[in-house]
Structure 1
């Protein structure tokens, strides 16, 4: 019974991380398409994702043209960390880097 509970918890955490990644990619697409910033949906997405993207905007600089590289970097790093964490939880260990 403990294995099913751990599996359900792992699925819940993975789902929440994927929802946040979806919001990051939505932010990137809204900025790339020059959507109205004063739209309530746009403002909500920016407010939710700003804590993570703000860390990357410090060293990647401002938006380069229409594309925000800090948002893409935040999404990439978050996904890599989540994959490593899932492997550690299920007991496989850290995946090999060349593979």
Structure 2
């Protein structure tokens, strides 16, 4: 991973510089066009929304009840592994 996509909230203050200097990732802020009226599909944002929706389908992720952040990270990794195995097996269960 080299680029983290986020909305305008992630471009504030010194967060992009902090992430780049400490983690080596670049934050790319995705914005609506200035002349946009009403709903507009924002490039790349649907990828983030889709991923969050996939994680939300797993009941364990609906509430953050884990005390240790590493446990939450491991559960998310397990969910991603499960999704990739389903794709490889070409099943819908």
TM-score (norm 2): 0.29
Higher RCO (CA-CA < 8 Å; seq separation 6+): 1
Tell me the TM-score normalised to structure 1 length: 0.28
Higher share in helix: 1
Looking at secondary structure, tell me which structure has more strand per residue: 2
